[in-house]
Amino acid sequence: MNAILADLLQLLELERIEVDIFRGESRDIGSPQVFGGQVLGQALSAASQTVDGRIVHSLHSYFLRPGDMKAPIVYNVDHSRDGRSFSARRVVAIQHGRPIFTLSCSFQVPEEGFTHQADMPDVPGPDGLTDVTELNLRLADRAPTKLRRLLTTKRPFEFRPVDPVNFLNPERREPVKHVWMRTVDRIPDNDQLHRVLLAYVSDYELLGTATLPHGIRFGHDNVQMASIDHAMWFHRPPRVDEWLLYTFDSPSASGARGLARGMIYTRDGTLVASTAQEGLVRIRGRGED
């Protein structure tokens, strides 16, 4: 298996240090703090390890404090409820004695029911599109110094945008975008693992959709962005090692916050998951946090 992907799988596995208590490490992907998708994926992994015979179908989370990449993260899982069909878990991620993230998630015994879904957007497939790593390398020399490592760091996922955004010189555009994604190598046939990985990768690209109508240039000192919350619904079993289309839109930005939504489809048009996230999008000097 690709070494970077194998390292991610190990990162998400966690160390069980006590009943319902887990410990995880962090990886530096070039961002100034721990990547939010990592904490989300690890928290879901911790919760999933306390449930048998049920699959996660929804989660709701809040990012409370930036994560410290040099310190371990402890995940404390609370068994909120175990019913005949559903189990609820609450996870608190702790660093330096303080919560940095909370997650509530629900698991269900698999069963059949009514079925319908929204249609996948009519966009070009991944074949022939350029991977974002190659696009970033073309811009790296002109990017602010603090962004270069983020742009050039190798990732465990491929990302191929349908209509790439030049974040160094962005044009104002509609708050809609589409990105094809998959892991860089095959992974085991484990539904729980695929859902955890999909949660991990769902934090990529999402909040940035809310900036598209405003032509915000990333990496400049007067722009402050941070995820506030993240919600996700799993509709059908995903495979993250096969091409998935992540389609985004942003219906609103106000009060120094932006709202973005996402829908994730298989290549044949099956809707496997939906996401929503609100985040801080602030021009510095217009308020203090």
pLDDT (tens digit, 9 = 90+) per residue, 215-261?
A: 876 655 577 889 999 999 999 999 999 999 999 999 999 999 999 99
- If you count DSSP H runs as helices and E runs as strands, how many of each does the chain have, helices first? 5, 12
Assigned domain for 119 exists: no
Annotation marks residue 85 as catalytic: no
Give ∠ CA 160-155-188 in degrees, rounded to 5: 95
Q: In the chain, what percentage of residues exceed pLDDT 70?
A: 94
- List the domain range (segments joined by +) for residue 174: 3-110+127-283
- Checking if the pLDDT of 143 tops 90, the result is no
118: in domain: no
Q: With respect to residue 188, please indicate whether it lies within any of the assigned structural domains.
A: yes
| CATH number of the domain bearing residue 30 | 2.40.160.210
Annotated catalytic residue within 48, 227, 250, 274:
227
Query: Of 26, 95, 202, 203, which is the active-site residue?
Result: 203
pLDDT tens digits, 86-138 = 999 999 999 999 999 999 999 999 999 999 999 999 999 999 999 988 887 77
Helix axis angle for 191-201 and 36-48, nearest 10°, is: 160
What is the model's pLDDT at position 289? 45
> In angstroms, what CA-CA distances link 6 with 50, 120, 156, 252?
23, 31, 8, 38
The pLDDT of residue 220 is 59
227 part of the active site? yes
User: Residue 208 falls within a domain, yes or no?
Assistant: yes
List, for residues 184-219, the tens digit of each pLDDT value: 999 999 999 999 999 999 999 899 999 999 987 665
Which residue in the list 26, 106, 250, 277 is annotated as catalytic?
Answer: 277
153 part of a folded domain: yes
Active site residue 277: yes
What pLDDT sits at residue 287?
Answer: 46
Confirm whether 120 is domain-assigned.
Answer: no
Residue 121, in any domain of the structure: no
Residue 57 covered by a domain: yes
Tally of structural domains, the chain? 1
